[in-house]
Chain A
Amino acid sequence: MIMAPRLRKLMLTAHITASVGWLGAIAAFLALAIAGLTGQDGRQVQAAYLSMDLIASLLIVPLCLATLISGVVQSLGTSWGLFRHYWVLAKLLITVVSTILLLVHLRPIHDLAAAAALPLSSADFRQMRVQMANDAGAAALALLVTTALSVYKPRGVTPYGWRKQQEQRRETLAAETTSS
Chain B
Amino acid sequence: MAHSSGDSEPTSAPSMPRWVKISGSVVIVLILLVLALHLSGNSPMHHSPATERQGQQQ
Contact = CB atoms under 8 A, between A and B. Distances in A.
Interface stretch (A11-19, A22-30, A66-74, A162-170): A162-170
Contact of A169 (B9, B49, B52, B53): B9
B16 A156 contact: yes
Task: Please name the 6 residue pairs, one residue from A and one from B, whose CB atoms are nearest each other, closest first.
Answer: A115-B49, A156-B17, A108-B44, A162-B13, A159-B13, A128-B47
B5 A173 contact: yes
B49 A90 contact: no
Contacts of A131: 42-44, 47
Interface of A: 86, 90, 104-105, 107-108, 111-112, 114-115, 124-125, 127-128, 131-132, 135, 154-159, 162-163, 166, 169-170, 173
Interface residues of B, number: 19
Interface in B8-58: 9, 13-14, 16-17, 19-20, 23, 42-45, 47-50, 52-53
B5 to A, nearest CB: 5
A97 to B, nearest CB: 9
Contacts, number: 57
Contacts of B43: 131
Contact of B44 (A105, A115, A166): A105
A154 B50 CA distance: 45
B30 to A, nearest CB: 9
A128 B49 contact: yes
Contact of B9 (A157, A159, A163, A166): A166
Contact of A111 (B9, B42, B49): B49
A154 B47 CA distance: 40
A158 B15 CA distance: 9
Nearest to B52: A125
